Structure 1
Amino acid sequence: MTTSTTDQTIDAVFGKTQPIRRVSSAQWLVVAISTLCYGAALVASILMIRKGESLAGFIGVALVLTLLPVAIVLIVRWVHGSSRGTSNSGDLEALQSELQRLVAQSQLSDDAKQVLFRQHERDMLKRAIEDDITNQDWDGAMVLVNRLANRFGALQLSEEYRQRIERARFETTNQAVIAAVAQVENLMAAGHWDAAIAEAQKVQRLFPSVTKVANLDHRVIAVRMTHKQELERSFFLAAQEGKADEAMERLRQLDQYLTPEEAEPLREMARGVIGKARDNLGAQFKLALQDKQWKSAAEIGEKIIAQFPNSRMAGEVRDVIDGIRQRAIAME
């Protein structure tokens, strides 16, 4: 079989091949502009849906997706026809007829469009409500539920959604309130009263309609006052019984509750208790020395130095404590 015969056979099977033609820059520019326009129209339609203009957005998406194939065919035909220098009038007339049909469909009345997309828009609205419930956006979900009732007349479904949202809102809010109140109580137990009051006020701002947290900051203040009174009573009892260590500890705990004016009388009383305790230790130290109870004298002397390091008595004890310790060791 000759080469000519082979070429004829190939042409018969696959059609006569056409030479590859170059597309001009102007044609590429038209293609690029058309693509950008359709992309912008699609993005604008999607944004309209996200902003709540569902009907207009869906219509825009439908038109873009419907007209895009037609535009592609027209552009391809135009590029191909331009490259050949010819045009196919029959194909163009058919495309023109199809385009006119699509335009006629796009000119439907608003009522017709609403009927056409009604079920789809309703399903989209229900999915949006479910998303808001999942994200705990209760107010946003309620807005969509009202739209579902008013626009689509789904009264029973809307009421079911409302009950579900209110129940979920109550459960979530109740758990959050319990955790917040527990945090306030932990701060009170640790004695961080200022932080507890600030946290209580924060809880009241977050849950203004919850009765459980109403006046929570005042309750913290009341507990703080009760605790202060208990510490004062404990201090007075310790001072009365001459328990210097306990009295000083209570005074230290009271320091954060008292103003300087309130603290001064208590400090004066504490100084009296401390002086009395120091004098008692001094008397015990002297008696131990007189009785030659060196070990006991050494222990009392060390206590005087530890508790009253800056007193004159402590200085006197330091002068003799080494000798007392040696005698205590010698007696063992």
Structure 2
Amino acid sequence: HGLTDGKELWVLAGLVTLVLTLTTLPVCLAARSSGNEEKDQSIELDRIRTQIRSLNDTMNTLNETIVLSDDARRVLNRRKERDLLCKAIEEDIQLEDWDAGLVLVRELAERFGYRVDAEQFRARIERARAQTHDKAVHEAIAGLEGMIASHEWEQALNEAARISRVFHEAPQVDGLRHRVISARDRYKQNIERRFLQAAQNEEIEEAMSLLREMDHLLSEHEAEQFQEVARGVIGKARDNLGVQFKMAVHDKAWDDAASVGERIIEEFPNSRMASEVRDIIDEIRGRANTMKR
């Protein structure tokens, strides 16, 4: 990577000085010897000059490495850095971190100059983000449709509002609240029609079941038109249960009598019939338990 700061340059200079000292020391010592060794000294000086020239060449090479700028080093390493950057972008795509991926794409294009690669990555990210977004919208609407099918109207209205807030830019979410309200209105109309038909046909059990559902579904104002029919159905249902209870007691079918008596108490708790049943229900339950043994 080359030497990058002044401290390392001073260390290098110290090493070179040490080498020069060690190589010139013999010359100094030789200068103190007798004149009979002049020929050997000449040979030694030639060798030292050669070593100094070699050291000078090495210093020049190291100096060129030291003065390389950051941009020059980046050019030398740009292929490796490109591969690392591309790998990081791939990881962001896998993690669905679209914004982070686009930041790296801009880095790839503007800092390193790989504009073609950057545009390819940008297209991939935008395509993947759109697909993920569409999938999320589809799944949210499918969940809403499930609530509508289950007649969970309050939950469906809340979910429609949430989807519209989260995916407000998606055209698929337009009119979700209206869709829920329309489905609820159609369901109410169907329940009302079935209730009236059951009451007309004196299908009291069916009419009572529908009446309970209407009680949760209709507002007080909406229920006013059905009050008279509802009173008739409730009266007949109470009378029918009373007849069933008396017949079960008469036939000593204690298990059936206990079951019908509990329905009377639960469904018509404020009626005189319920009060009468409460007085004898414990005895009936006891006889029913005895019969099971």
| 1:230 and 2:184 matched | no
Report the number of matched residues.
242
The 3-state SS of whatever aligns with 1:256 is helix
Whether the 8 Å CA contact 2:92–2:100 is kept in 1: the answer is yes
Work out the CA distance in 2 between the residues paired with 1:253 and 1:68: 87
Q: 1:167 to 1:267 in 2, by over 3 A?
A: same
Match of 1:49 in 2: none
Whether the 8 Å CA contact 2:205–2:237 is kept in 1: the answer is no
Work out the CA distance in 2 between the residues paired with 1:264 and 1:218: 25
Q: 1:269 aligns with which of 218, 229, 243?
A: 229
Q: 1:224 to 1:318 in 2, by over 3 A?
A: closer
What's the CA shift string for 1:181-214, capped at 9, x where partnerless? 2322232333322222222333333333333333
* Matched residue type, 2:221: E
Following superposition, the deviation at residue 140 of structure 1 comes to 2.5
| 1:248 and 2:205 matched | no
Work out the CA distance in 1 between the residues paired with 2:165 and 2:279: 64
Work out the CA distance in 1 between the residues paired with 2:243 and 2:198: 21
Whether the 8 Å CA contact 1:234–1:250 is kept in 2: the answer is yes
Aligned-pair identity in percent equals 46
Match of 1:90 in 2: 17
Following superposition, the deviation at residue 231 of structure 1 comes to 1.5
Work out the CA distance in 2 between the residues paired with 1:108 and 1:89: 21
| 1:158 and 2:96 matched | no
**Residue pairs, 1:306-325, within 5 angstroms:** 306-307=263-264, 308=268, 310-312=270-272
TM-score normalised to structure 1 length: 0.54
RMSD (Å), alpha carbons: 4.7
Following superposition, the deviation at residue 124 of structure 1 comes to 3.1
Q: 1:257 aligns with which of 207, 217, 224?
A: 217
Work out the CA distance in 2 between the residues paired with 1:256 and 1:122: 65
Match of 2:43 in 1: none
Following superposition, the deviation at residue 135 of structure 1 comes to 1.0
**Residue pairs, 1:1-332, within 5 angstroms:** 70=8, 90-91=17-18, 108=68, 111-278=71-238, 295=251, 306-307=263-264, 308=268, 310-312=270-272
Q: 1:100 to 1:244 in 2, by over 3 A?
A: farther
Whether the 8 Å CA contact 2:244–2:260 is kept in 1: the answer is no
* Matched residue type, 1:271: R
* Matched residue type, 1:233: R
Q: 1:150 to 1:301 in 2, by over 3 A?
A: closer
Following superposition, the deviation at residue 107 of structure 1 comes to 5.3
TM-score normalised to structure 2 length: 0.59
Work out the CA distance in 1 between the residues paired with 2:241 and 2:261: 7
Structure 2: give runs of 5+ residues left out of the alignment. 22-55, 284-293
Match of 2:25 in 1: none
* Matched residue type, 1:258: L
- Structure with bigger RCO (C-alpha 8 Å, 6+ apart): 2
The 3-state SS of whatever aligns with 1:208 is coil
Following superposition, the deviation at residue 93 of structure 1 comes to 9.2
Structure 1: give runs of 5+ residues left out of the alignment. 1-61, 78-87, 289-293, 323-332
